[in-house]
Structure 1
Amino acid sequence: MVDTSLTITSRQIREQNLQLVRQALHDEQVCTSSKLKELTGLSVVTLNKIISLLIASGEVLDAGKVNMPNGRPASTYRFNEMNKLMLILSIYKRSGNKYVGYSVHNLFGECIERKEELIEESDSIQTNELKIGMERYISRHPKISVIGVSMPSDDVGGRVGSAIRHDSQSKRLSSHLEKQFNIPVFFETDINAATLGCYKRCKNQEYVSGVILVPGKIPGCGFCYNGAVLRGKDGMAGEIRYFPMYNDIGVLPSESMQADDLAIRTIRAVMCVLNPGYMAIYSETLRPGFIDRLKKQLGTPAEEALLPKIEITDNLREDTVSGMVSLCLEALK
């Protein structure tokens, strides 16, 4: 008896082949038909059919013919990076104020428009504020095909904040926005997105952890393994505010010496539990010499062996947007 659950249909094969050619053209940007055949392993007949479909949908452009070393001209094709666009909203705090950054990206991740706006400080972001901004950018860029929203981990008071979690409330809000704009909409915490962005720029790091440590604020932690964000139940993971040493207060102390001490203890806990190879500490206010003081507190050779490569950076927003680009591209697939 044949197990039909394992049977691959002709439609699935066609979709796999389409994605294979899409990815090859995305990576190469401009490619000859012979190079595509080499990269995909598809037959000339199958390849020609797929290219015709992709040209008809606007995903690929005919780039004409080029002369080859053997003297025969070859057809070339160019990936159309403007066929679909991504809208990213990144909500963040700077100098005591709350902002929303809007950025529109093409399928190569290149930013074609970017703007930030000051928004009213509140316990939670109002849904209408975001909807108005989304409408404005969609009207200017009709090719926007996905919307990703990143938010601080501590912005969980209202409907939008709770949508960071992959629970029923999140699904309702995403569904509401998707119905209004007729395109996919998803939410992610800033630290999860930033950790993915850090992974992209680090290269050759299998396991990356990102940690937000700002005195007076709730800490956040994200994990990325082999290019995938690790999430716990309901999308919640890395809730380091609940470490016992925070004494149920859940924020890094404002006093610099206390903040320094608790930040070191937090990093040691993350090291020992997860053993990441690289750790980005997002902070603008930790005291100089922080990493040296951390190293001095490592008590055993075993803990010294767990010490990852550490950077202290204030590029939270840049890494967040980079990670959101990757998540948007995945959503478009």
Structure 2
Amino acid sequence: MTSKPRSLLDHRLIIVTGKGGVGKTTVACLLAEAARRAGQRVLLAETAPIEAAAARFERDPAPLGYEGRELRTGLHAIRIDPHEALAHYVRLQTGLGLVTDRILASETFQQLLEAAPGWRELILLGKLWHAEQSLYAARPVYDLIVVDAPATGHGLTFLDVPRVAQQAVRAGPLARHAGWVEELVHDRERTLLLPVTLPEELPARETIELVTRAREDLGIGVDRIVVNRCPPRPDAALSRVLAESKPAYEAWPPGTSLVPLVEHAAARAALAARERARVSDRCALPVVDLPILPGGAEGGSDWRAAADGVLADPSWPDREQTGASAA
């Protein structure tokens, strides 16, 4: 076991990723909200084609778009569209506005883009680098940038694009800028990869593969795993009383006994605890548990409590209680 990880709020860029369906976007929003409530100026960046973050904060939200907008005081959210980010980059480099737009909109240029692998990922990361570097009155515009990154697999591929670009283009502005982006991605003082998983076999297995690749192949910092939707364990005293009274309950009409419900909840919680311990053991990382939100992922006291929970100190599972093995 390693020393206690730093607070998430001590980083500049946190890249939230995980298997599709594990609640990656929700965790990114919870982290952004928690940082905002802690007094930080936060940028929440979406990368998916369809926006989802604003709906965690608002009912019937207006689109964020490339420029984004403020969702809460101190919390600005954007959706990074690769084509708009490319146009922005070219304008910054050339100083040409209308001409740039015409060139980028041409059919010939669009065909060239489709044939160029990795440009979307590189320009997306370049936008994040630009946001991290942005200053106002001699201080960073954003204290923390939270990225709702692509799902596991593609999420790591897009982080490796700057290195690949430098190997392909060894001189000029593109190589120089790719180098700056790669430096940010691999700077463990500034950047952290935050994997999100569920206490279930398949998501846990994919998270183990994700962490292994992030460390061994990419050298990206990761110091904890968020385990989302952890089921509550039934009260031990209640479980014991119901178990002792089971013979009497078996004589009740079907569907009226609480025993099967409690047994099911206990079995589910035990399975979740084993998977939580397995992913922690195999990755040699502590975990942060987030509960199932009864009211869903939007608003309310459960939402605020879960936001605080994201910042909780990660812990190591109790192996005696879970009976988990590292296999």
Q: TM-score scaled to structure 2, two decimals?
A: 0.28
| Greater strand proportion | 1
Of Structure 1 and Structure 2, the greater helix share is in 2
TM norm structure 1: 0.28
